[in-house]
Structure 1
């Protein structure tokens, strides 16, 4: 949503940290900016993962001293927050459409997943980040507007955004874990070069479930041919559909069958 020119500035939230002024320049030979620090951090993150990301590694990537970074970021936590915010710089949620709210939510969730997958371990960073900064509040506001325009009760609308975000974060986190595991097994230093063989894994699991004792595991045997059979994209969409149908059950036009809010 475009902000009105007369809109008052958003007050700082309790989660925001003190940062140096944006225009400060370090004394390093090459001009150092906050944007360059964030880009270097993404490079280190993709190469070494969150556990290997440190201020020292970022400084090394830029060819500066660690102290030079502190003219632009106050701490590693501050840097992670800036990275998360940067990921959604050009993100936009469309104007709410009551007739298309489910489609709009599908597009929202898929877009967030794509962005989280664009850099290694971003789901882990996302799960430790509170999205109520001045830069991200407009996205939260637009998402709530979408829920309310759909007709969801306020109590459900207030929780739905967190529910969907948690689902996306958790799904992408699992994808990252399996990708890292595939990289280790292949001996690749860069996990982006490795992809788990989902088809092979699915076949092994299906065969295993189908061979379980029928008396003890009747349901696993009965559903063995359907377990883990889909691609990550399909699995994501099925899970998202379950959530959306649950939200739809709270709409007023569902009548007496709708669960209590």
Structure 2
């Protein structure tokens, strides 16, 4: 029996058969093999957390808990990694068969989808603007967009420029949105990708324009209620409509 004060029995000695049992070795969980896909996924994590300026091969390696040298078996450089990230965005992106009767709607849907892809990760618009989309993986998307313009009947010169015009508009619009996101996150003291309160910002700007001296700023005062839209989505669509109407004016014997 154990010490009476303790009030608990002593542990029994090990049985004879337990003395012969080998100690079970602890097996570490198998680590998932490194791959290009895992590297790109980790790069998106670092990008969303720290932004493009702080994205580095070393940071990606730390996220994966591997030596930075291990990355170079799959990715040549940071520029190569950015290209892979940009290409990954389009993995599930599809364009419809060109329909000359619905070309405006098709371009609008394309632009909206592209914008949301860029907004899905921090600073992606900056990566997009620095990346020429003429790689083997991205050429089919360029081809499909040009097909929409040419099937609609746009002259070749206009169709050739339209794709670049649309992409520049989307990149620039999302770049501005990203700047407002960063500013809102900085003011909130967080790294969140939450979108800023566009309605609050719009009210402030509208009130400011309406308060300007009429003799000096008659047009800003007159348009103060229209200078800022209800939402960033609405503003994006209005800009696209202006572009699409301009493109439509080049269609032979069709609506202007």
Distance 1:123 1:58 in 2: 20
- Of residues 73, 77, 81, the one that matches 1:71 is 73
- What do residues 60-79 of structure 1 show as CA deviations (whole Å, max 9, x unaligned)? 00000111000000000000
Alpha-carbon shift at residue 129 of structure 1 (Å)? 0.2
Query: What RMSD in Å do the two structures reach over aligned CA positions?
Result: 1.5
Distance 2:184 2:109 in 1: 29
Alignment gaps of 5+ in structure 2: 1-30
Paired residue for 1:237? 237
1:101 corresponds to: 103
Aligned counterparts of 1:201 and 1:92: Cα–Cα separation in 2: 34
Q: CA deviation at 1:147?
A: 0.5
- Corresponding residue for residue 27 of structure 2: none
**Residue equivalent to 1:222:** 222
Structure 1 residue 30, shift from structure 2 partner: 4.3
Aligned mates of 1:71, 1:81 — CA distance in 2 = 16
User: Within 2, Cα distance between the matches of 1:229 and 1:247?
Assistant: 23
Which residue is 2:85 aligned to? 83
Match of 2:53 in 1: 51
The Cα shift of 1:202 comes to: 1.2
Matched with 1:126 is 128
Deviation of the 1:204 alpha carbon: 1.3
Corresponding residue for 2:203?
A: 203
Q: 1:30 & 1:251 partners in 2: Cα distance?
A: 55
- State how far apart, in whole Å, the 1-side matches of 2:93 and 2:36 are: 20
Measured against aligned partners, the alpha-carbon deviations of 1:128-153 in whole angstroms (never above 9, x if no partner) come to 00000000001111111110000000
CA distance in structure 2 between the aligned counterparts of 1:144 and 1:228, rounded to whole angstroms? 32
Q: Which residue of 2 aligns with 1:160?
A: 162
1:4 corresponds to: none
Q: CA deviation at 1:229?
A: 3.0
CA distance in 2, matches of 1:157, 1:197: 37
Q: Secondary structure of the equivalent of 1:68? A: helix
Question: 1:165-180 alignment to 2 at 5 Å?
Answer: 165-180=167-182
Distance 2:37 2:211 in 1: 55
Structure 1 runs (4+) greater than 6 angstroms displaced? none
Q: CA deviation at 1:254?
A: 4.5
TM-score by length of 2: 0.86
Deviations, residues 143-199 of structure 1 (Å, cap 9, x unaligned) = 1111000000000000000100000111111111101100000111x222x331212
Structure (1 or 2) with the larger CA radius of gyration: 2
Deviation for aligned residue 1:52: 1.2
Counterpart secondary structure, 2:101: helix
CA distance in 1, matches of 2:115, 2:96: 17
User: Relative contact order: is structure 1 or structure 2 higher (C-alpha 8 Å, sep ≥ 6)?
Assistant: 1
